[in-house]
A and B are shown apart, each in its own frame.
Chain A
């Protein structure tokens, strides 16, 4: 008799609990970006959001907030191709796709595929390659959908701990998966991965979650605990404090990159693979820091 009642109470509580979970509020991302180009190339400011060969974008649409980073592969410079063109055009194209609504929030790899296809529609042959990472927050369903091709990536931090992270995709050391457009006739020689090869993941997010999307310039120079330390300083979800935190993370990574004695994650990985090196890895650094907050117009 008593057990029936208690079961009944448990069931009722669970049901009610489940019902109240569907919160009518929309979430959104407050995002700030910061970064450093490797060689401080001044005067080549391509419509902002480009740091050296890296590029990024932040876009909003009716139903979703979308972020993206792309790391142009520097090796093209040896062949007379400017690597920043490909990544910048890719990111700008993806931004346009999002703004015009030509995407599905739950399918971010579609943004990459359409963006890549649009790059091929240029009359001017656009050469180069880059990695790409796209993060989409579906405002209504509170789910974060991501796709990552290459060695850029993202971290999701909740309560001071990393709860989700992306995996690096590499063919071999320092050769990440990459979208590329090669000169004709070199298709067999140049690495070109399909957007379909990207890693996808989807998960729920909560208010206050911090999402850090960055290129390998950050992750190769700053281990997780340092990043988490910086993120602890982010208390409020207004744009200025997010920007400040993003700046401090990027600056710290930049300083560490040029420290010859510091055992960076990159150096550690190299040592594990038999290369005896120390020091940071000078590279373009791009940091997009977002915090999940309630949606306001």
Chain B
């Protein structure tokens, strides 16, 4: 049959692209390139993406098909795999980019691809839930090490793809806000972001518990550096949210005043480090490895089976997915930084967010 043959050829193409070598891009390169958005540069960038995106997407599509424990066959995962295959097809069938009009159409197309993939995280989370239900409850998080490693690679890759697409689309903005190159803010104040993220987190806490502990921020308010405000906001928000929840639950029924959460921002030569400290009772040392896994959460599960309503990705809850910390760490590592959690059982927890300033580190390309 014609369709069967075409199908086979398509699958072969996916595998072929999935084996090709990925090319990383550094923050510094994105900054330099994006600061000169001439027609010629845009065409060159589009041509690069036209080659690079199918490679990254195919690699993930191939992996999605070969997950352990039958994860690949879960309905939610099949859905995600189809999104990846559709996007691959869209990219491969787009003709060569020769002039600025081609480039504009290409940009439109990759923008749509990004939108198609908006709900990948909750969808994958649902797939993992579906898997958990069908498995032996005696298996614990350690047995799922392959799945964790896959998800780390998968989400890291997704961060990269969305970064590349997003930067390219944003650089087309004819009236960018000052100090912006695409998504990158060249003079981002980490203390300001910490303030904003803290307020947002306190708001969520207030809504859920009726009260929220105070947050104090220490750091030089005039210090700025080049980074992605959305990424940073997301990570600090996540850490503060966890701290607020821990302190709130510890002091809710007590007469004592809940001790404030302390955020310290330090600027070094290699790194900018943001520490979020709380006195929320801490995590026992044996429990620490679990907090970075994708299948663990101490809260009730808020995911339900409604994947397509598009609202799922934006509704913020205090807890429940079990994805906040591991994904925050991927964001930190994406540009050469890291996220470390140290806890003092019986006292509280410190989270250290290291953001690399050097800007030369290449994207990690799992």
Question: Are these two chains actual partners, yes or no?
Answer: no
